[in-house]
Structure 1
Amino acid sequence: MEPNNIKIALGADHAGFTYKEMLRLFLSAYELKDFGAYSADSVDYPDFAHPVAEAVESGECTFGILVCGSGNGIAIAANKHQQIRAAICWETELAALSRLHNNANIICIPARFVTEELAKEMVMTFLNTVFEGGRHETRVNKISC
Protein backbone atom coordinates (compact mmCIF):
# COMPACT_ATOMS: atom_id res chain seq x y z
CA MET A 1 0.00 0.00 0.00
CA GLU A 2 1.21 3.49 -0.79
CA PRO A 3 2.31 5.48 2.27
CA ASN A 4 -0.22 8.26 1.62
CA ASN A 5 -3.12 5.81 1.79
CA ILE A 6 -2.63 4.55 5.33
CA LYS A 7 -2.05 5.75 8.88
CA ILE A 8 -0.15 3.51 11.27
CA ALA A 9 -0.51 3.37 15.06
CA LEU A 10 2.73 2.46 16.85
CA GLY A 11 3.15 1.18 20.37
CA ALA A 12 5.66 -0.71 22.48
CA ASP A 13 6.62 -1.46 26.03
CA HIS A 14 10.15 -0.98 27.37
CA ALA A 15 11.41 -4.21 25.76
CA GLY A 16 10.14 -3.06 22.37
CA PHE A 17 11.07 0.62 22.67
CA THR A 18 14.27 0.43 20.58
CA TYR A 19 12.50 -1.45 17.77
CA LYS A 20 9.53 0.94 17.84
CA GLU A 21 11.90 3.87 17.45
CA MET A 22 13.74 2.11 14.63
CA LEU A 23 10.42 1.39 12.87
CA ARG A 24 9.20 4.96 13.43
CA LEU A 25 12.23 6.24 11.52
CA PHE A 26 12.03 3.47 8.91
CA LEU A 27 8.35 4.28 8.21
CA SER A 28 8.80 8.06 8.07
CA ALA A 29 7.10 8.21 4.65
CA TYR A 30 3.89 7.01 6.31
CA GLU A 31 1.54 8.95 8.56
CA LEU A 32 2.26 7.63 12.04
CA LYS A 33 0.69 8.01 15.45
CA ASP A 34 3.11 7.06 18.22
CA PHE A 35 1.39 5.89 21.41
CA GLY A 36 4.67 5.24 23.28
CA ALA A 37 6.53 4.06 25.22
CA TYR A 38 8.86 7.01 24.95
CA SER A 39 11.84 5.48 26.77
CA ALA A 40 13.26 2.11 27.79
CA ASP A 41 12.08 2.59 31.39
CA SER A 42 9.94 -0.28 32.67
CA VAL A 43 6.24 0.09 31.77
CA ASP A 44 3.13 -2.08 31.43
CA TYR A 45 2.40 -3.33 27.88
CA PRO A 46 -1.43 -3.00 28.12
CA ASP A 47 -0.98 0.77 28.53
CA PHE A 48 0.27 0.87 24.94
CA ALA A 49 -1.57 -2.06 23.35
CA HIS A 50 -5.03 -0.71 24.21
CA PRO A 51 -4.58 2.79 22.70
CA VAL A 52 -3.12 1.29 19.51
CA ALA A 53 -6.01 -1.18 19.29
CA GLU A 54 -8.56 1.58 19.92
CA ALA A 55 -7.03 3.73 17.16
CA VAL A 56 -7.26 0.85 14.67
CA GLU A 57 -10.69 -0.29 15.86
CA SER A 58 -12.14 3.23 15.54
CA GLY A 59 -10.71 3.72 12.05
CA GLU A 60 -8.43 6.56 13.14
CA CYS A 61 -5.53 4.36 11.97
CA THR A 62 -5.52 1.75 9.22
CA PHE A 63 -3.03 -0.62 10.82
CA GLY A 64 -1.13 -1.01 14.08
CA ILE A 65 2.36 -2.13 14.96
CA LEU A 66 3.03 -3.32 18.50
CA VAL A 67 6.37 -4.44 19.88
CA CYS A 68 7.31 -6.11 23.15
CA GLY A 69 9.86 -8.70 24.21
CA SER A 70 7.88 -11.79 23.18
CA GLY A 71 4.97 -10.27 21.25
CA ASN A 72 2.58 -12.24 23.45
CA GLY A 73 1.49 -9.68 26.03
CA ILE A 74 0.71 -6.96 23.53
CA ALA A 75 -1.13 -9.40 21.27
CA ILE A 76 -3.27 -10.70 24.12
CA ALA A 77 -4.17 -7.16 25.22
CA ALA A 78 -4.89 -5.91 21.69
CA ASN A 79 -7.03 -8.93 20.85
CA LYS A 80 -9.43 -8.07 23.68
CA HIS A 81 -10.89 -5.49 21.29
CA GLN A 82 -13.72 -6.88 19.14
CA GLN A 83 -12.53 -5.59 15.76
CA ILE A 84 -8.85 -6.29 16.28
CA ARG A 85 -6.97 -9.18 14.78
CA ALA A 86 -3.45 -8.84 16.19
CA ALA A 87 -0.96 -11.38 14.89
CA ILE A 88 2.39 -12.29 16.44
CA CYS A 89 4.91 -12.65 13.64
CA TRP A 90 8.49 -13.86 13.74
CA GLU A 91 8.89 -14.72 10.04
CA THR A 92 7.98 -12.81 6.90
CA GLU A 93 5.72 -15.64 5.73
CA LEU A 94 3.66 -15.34 8.92
CA ALA A 95 3.26 -11.60 8.33
CA ALA A 96 1.97 -12.33 4.81
CA LEU A 97 -0.39 -15.10 5.95
CA SER A 98 -1.74 -12.99 8.79
CA ARG A 99 -2.96 -10.51 6.18
CA LEU A 100 -3.86 -12.97 3.40
CA HIS A 101 -5.88 -15.40 5.50
CA ASN A 102 -6.75 -13.58 8.75
CA ASN A 103 -7.07 -9.95 7.64
CA ALA A 104 -4.89 -9.03 10.62
CA ASN A 105 -4.89 -5.30 11.32
CA ILE A 106 -2.10 -5.22 13.92
CA ILE A 107 1.28 -6.89 13.65
CA CYS A 108 2.93 -7.83 16.94
CA ILE A 109 6.69 -8.14 16.87
CA PRO A 110 8.77 -10.06 19.45
CA ALA A 111 11.84 -7.80 19.72
CA ARG A 112 13.87 -10.36 21.66
CA PHE A 113 13.49 -12.97 18.93
CA VAL A 114 13.88 -11.18 15.58
CA THR A 115 16.52 -8.92 14.10
CA GLU A 116 15.80 -5.31 13.24
CA GLU A 117 16.15 -6.16 9.54
CA LEU A 118 13.60 -8.98 9.84
CA ALA A 119 11.24 -6.67 11.73
CA LYS A 120 11.42 -4.18 8.84
CA GLU A 121 10.80 -6.93 6.27
CA MET A 122 7.81 -8.27 8.22
CA VAL A 123 6.27 -4.82 8.58
CA MET A 124 6.63 -4.06 4.87
CA THR A 125 5.18 -7.47 3.98
CA PHE A 126 2.29 -6.89 6.40
CA LEU A 127 1.54 -3.43 4.99
CA ASN A 128 1.74 -4.55 1.37
CA THR A 129 -0.23 -7.79 1.55
CA VAL A 130 -3.92 -7.65 0.69
CA PHE A 131 -6.54 -9.86 2.36
CA GLU A 132 -7.65 -12.68 0.01
CA GLY A 133 -11.27 -12.69 1.17
CA GLY A 134 -13.37 -15.57 -0.15
CA ARG A 135 -13.39 -18.59 2.16
CA HIS A 136 -11.11 -16.67 4.54
CA GLU A 137 -13.65 -13.86 4.88
CA THR A 138 -16.26 -16.33 6.10
CA ARG A 139 -13.85 -17.51 8.78
CA VAL A 140 -12.73 -14.03 9.81
CA ASN A 141 -16.38 -12.97 10.17
CA LYS A 142 -16.82 -15.74 12.77
CA ILE A 143 -14.03 -14.44 15.05
CA SER A 144 -15.92 -11.69 16.91
CA CYS A 145 -18.56 -12.87 19.37
Structure 2
Amino acid sequence: MKINPYLLFDGQCEQAFKFYEDVLGGKIEAMIRFDEMQESGDYPPESAKKIMHVSLRFGDNVLMGSDDPSPAFQKAQGMSVALHTDTPAEAESLFAALSKDATTVIMPIGETSWAQRFGMFVDRFGTPWMINCSRPM
Protein backbone atom coordinates (compact mmCIF):
# COMPACT_ATOMS: atom_id res chain seq x y z
CA MET A 1 0.00 0.00 0.00
CA LYS A 2 1.13 3.55 -0.74
CA ILE A 3 -0.22 6.97 0.10
CA ASN A 4 -0.08 9.83 -2.39
CA PRO A 5 -1.05 13.41 -1.58
CA TYR A 6 -3.75 14.74 -3.92
CA LEU A 7 -3.79 18.53 -4.08
CA LEU A 8 -6.69 20.68 -5.25
CA PHE A 9 -6.26 24.09 -6.86
CA ASP A 10 -8.45 26.98 -7.93
CA GLY A 11 -7.20 27.18 -11.52
CA GLN A 12 -3.43 27.09 -10.83
CA CYS A 13 -2.83 23.34 -10.97
CA GLU A 14 -0.81 23.33 -14.20
CA GLN A 15 1.40 26.22 -13.06
CA ALA A 16 1.89 24.64 -9.62
CA PHE A 17 2.84 21.22 -10.94
CA LYS A 18 5.30 22.60 -13.49
CA PHE A 19 6.90 24.48 -10.58
CA TYR A 20 6.93 21.33 -8.39
CA GLU A 21 8.37 19.30 -11.29
CA ASP A 22 11.24 21.74 -11.62
CA VAL A 23 11.95 22.14 -7.89
CA LEU A 24 11.55 18.45 -6.96
CA GLY A 25 13.46 17.18 -10.01
CA GLY A 26 10.57 14.99 -11.06
CA LYS A 27 8.61 14.19 -14.19
CA ILE A 28 4.95 14.86 -14.90
CA GLU A 29 3.64 11.49 -16.08
CA ALA A 30 0.08 12.59 -16.86
CA MET A 31 -1.69 15.92 -17.28
CA ILE A 32 -5.28 15.65 -18.46
CA ARG A 33 -7.67 18.55 -19.02
CA PHE A 34 -11.41 18.43 -18.34
CA ASP A 35 -12.29 18.67 -22.04
CA GLU A 36 -10.09 15.64 -22.81
CA MET A 37 -12.16 13.28 -20.65
CA GLN A 38 -15.66 12.20 -21.58
CA GLU A 39 -16.00 10.67 -18.09
CA SER A 40 -15.36 13.98 -16.35
CA GLY A 41 -19.09 14.68 -16.18
CA ASP A 42 -20.57 18.13 -15.94
CA TYR A 43 -18.15 20.95 -15.40
CA PRO A 44 -18.38 24.68 -16.00
CA PRO A 45 -17.38 25.63 -19.58
CA GLU A 46 -14.61 27.89 -18.23
CA SER A 47 -12.98 24.77 -16.72
CA ALA A 48 -12.55 23.02 -20.10
CA LYS A 49 -8.80 23.71 -20.29
CA LYS A 50 -8.19 23.37 -16.55
CA ILE A 51 -6.50 20.26 -15.16
CA MET A 52 -8.74 17.34 -14.29
CA HIS A 53 -5.81 15.16 -13.18
CA VAL A 54 -2.03 15.45 -12.99
CA SER A 55 0.54 12.99 -11.67
CA LEU A 56 4.14 13.95 -10.82
CA ARG A 57 6.73 11.30 -9.99
CA PHE A 58 9.93 12.24 -8.15
CA GLY A 59 12.09 9.46 -6.74
CA ASP A 60 9.78 6.84 -5.21
CA ASN A 61 7.09 9.47 -4.60
CA VAL A 62 3.98 10.50 -6.49
CA LEU A 63 2.20 13.83 -6.03
CA MET A 64 -1.18 14.19 -7.73
CA GLY A 65 -3.66 17.00 -8.16
CA SER A 66 -6.37 18.78 -10.11
CA ASP A 67 -8.23 22.04 -10.45
CA ASP A 68 -11.49 22.01 -8.51
CA PRO A 69 -14.19 23.44 -10.79
CA SER A 70 -16.81 23.57 -8.06
CA PRO A 71 -17.87 26.91 -6.59
CA ALA A 72 -17.28 25.38 -3.14
CA PHE A 73 -13.47 25.17 -3.59
CA GLN A 74 -11.49 25.60 -0.36
CA LYS A 75 -7.73 25.89 0.01
CA ALA A 76 -5.92 23.08 1.81
CA GLN A 77 -6.15 23.30 5.57
CA GLY A 78 -5.45 20.99 8.48
CA MET A 79 -2.68 19.17 6.55
CA SER A 80 0.77 19.65 5.05
CA VAL A 81 2.84 17.89 2.42
CA ALA A 82 5.91 16.72 4.37
CA LEU A 83 9.25 16.20 2.63
CA HIS A 84 12.04 14.40 4.46
CA THR A 85 15.61 14.97 3.29
CA ASP A 86 18.87 13.17 3.96
CA THR A 87 20.98 16.26 4.57
CA PRO A 88 20.52 19.71 6.11
CA ALA A 89 21.76 21.29 2.87
CA GLU A 90 19.06 19.50 0.86
CA ALA A 91 16.42 20.65 3.37
CA GLU A 92 17.60 24.26 3.11
CA SER A 93 17.67 24.12 -0.69
CA LEU A 94 14.15 22.65 -0.93
CA PHE A 95 12.81 25.14 1.59
CA ALA A 96 14.31 28.08 -0.31
CA ALA A 97 13.02 26.90 -3.70
CA LEU A 98 9.52 25.80 -2.69
CA SER A 99 8.89 28.79 -0.41
CA LYS A 100 9.87 31.34 -3.06
CA ASP A 101 7.03 33.90 -3.09
CA ALA A 102 5.29 31.93 -0.30
CA THR A 103 2.09 33.42 1.06
CA THR A 104 3.06 32.47 4.62
CA VAL A 105 6.24 31.26 6.31
CA ILE A 106 4.96 29.54 9.44
CA MET A 107 8.37 28.47 10.72
CA PRO A 108 11.63 29.43 8.98
CA ILE A 109 14.03 26.58 8.23
CA GLY A 110 16.30 25.96 11.18
CA GLU A 111 17.52 23.52 13.79
CA THR A 112 15.03 22.12 16.30
CA SER A 113 15.16 19.64 19.17
CA TRP A 114 14.02 16.86 16.80
CA ALA A 115 15.61 17.86 13.49
CA GLN A 116 18.82 19.12 11.99
CA ARG A 117 16.55 21.30 9.84
CA PHE A 118 12.81 21.87 9.92
CA GLY A 119 10.57 24.52 8.38
CA MET A 120 6.93 25.13 7.47
CA PHE A 121 5.27 27.41 4.93
CA VAL A 122 2.32 27.81 2.57
CA ASP A 123 3.56 28.17 -1.00
CA ARG A 124 2.30 30.70 -3.55
CA PHE A 125 -0.27 28.16 -4.78
CA GLY A 126 -1.78 27.62 -1.32
CA THR A 127 -0.12 24.27 -0.57
CA PRO A 128 1.12 23.85 3.03
CA TRP A 129 4.58 22.20 3.26
CA MET A 130 6.87 20.86 5.97
CA ILE A 131 10.54 20.28 5.20
CA ASN A 132 12.38 18.00 7.65
CA CYS A 133 15.89 16.61 8.01
CA SER A 134 15.88 14.39 11.09
CA ARG A 135 18.67 14.08 13.60
CA PRO A 136 20.72 10.90 13.28
CA MET A 137 19.65 8.21 15.76
Task: Find the structure with the greater CA-based Rg.
Answer: 2
Q: Is the TM-score greater than 0.5?
A: no
More strand by percentage: 2
- After TM superposition, the score normalised by the length of structure 1 is 0.28
- After TM superposition, the score normalised by the length of structure 2 is 0.29
